[in-house]
A = this chain, B = another copy of it.
Amino acid sequence: MTKEEEILAAAEDEFFRNGYDATSTATIAGRAGVTHAMVNYYFRTKEQLFFKIIDTHIQGFLGSLKKVMLAEGDFIQVLKGAAAALFDKIREDRKFPFIILDISRTHPEFLERYRETVMTLCRESIKRHAQRLAEQIQAGKVADCTMENIFETVLDLAAAPFLKIPFLEKIFGYDEEMIDRYLQSRREDIMETIKRKYAIKP
């Protein structure tokens, strides 16, 4: 692994663990076995390094979400797929939602870069599914709801469980194994909730 990659890897880990402000270029460099000057040498500023990392992650998320949301097929099934994809992607980097929250407070302008992309994805998903959704609602197979409402719900179901982990750990004393069980049960819950919330039994 080249020094540049080592710095990148160390930075990713530190940023995810401590957030932007609480991470210093010196500690990043230290973990990569160089001085902090190298961070600036390769990435110009701490901020650029940070955004490079975050951008990669966000693109990854949006990519996998897009793939699922624009798929053809039964609507309830698509929803389940979207929630599951989001959930599993977040599970790979449990701290991701916190980083996003951190940014939204410390650098509110950054997230807005992605607003257009997200809105577009919403619109395209709506375009793709709107007619089928309307038909199914009219046929009484899917509960009455709007696409926005659905996005809200999917996001909620997929991200909320992770945001709650620190509470469970620090206040209720959950250990790693309990967290795993918790996440497992949440994942099943998500599917169940979607079905119960939107699918209407014949």
Residues of B within 8 A of A106 (CB): 22
Chain A 58-78: CB-based contact to B (< 8 A → 1; otherwise 0): 000000000000000000000
Indicate if the CB atoms of B171 and A105 lie closer than 8 Å.
no
Indicate if the CB atoms of B119 and A170 lie closer than 8 Å.
no
Residues of B within 8 A of A167 (CB): 100, 104, 155, 159
Number of copies of this protein chain within its complex: 2
| Complex alpha-carbon distance, A42 and B98, angstroms | 33
Indicate whether A173 reaches chain B with its CB closer than 8 angstroms. Answer: yes
| Complex alpha-carbon distance, A171 and B115, angstroms | 5
Given A21-B21, A164-B155, A166-B104, A173 and B98 contact (CB-CB distance below 8 Å): no
Chain A interface extent, by class: 35 or more
Residues of B within 8 A of A10 (CB): none
Residues of B within 8 A of A161 (CB): 156
Indicate if the CB atoms of A105 and B18 lie closer than 8 Å.
yes
| Complex alpha-carbon distance, A122 and B171, angstroms | 11
A-B contact list, 13 entries, CB within 8 Å: A21-B22, A22-B105, A98-B105, A101-B166, A104-B167, A108-B170, A111-B170, A112-B170, A152-B168, A156-B160, A156-B161, A156-B164, A159-B164
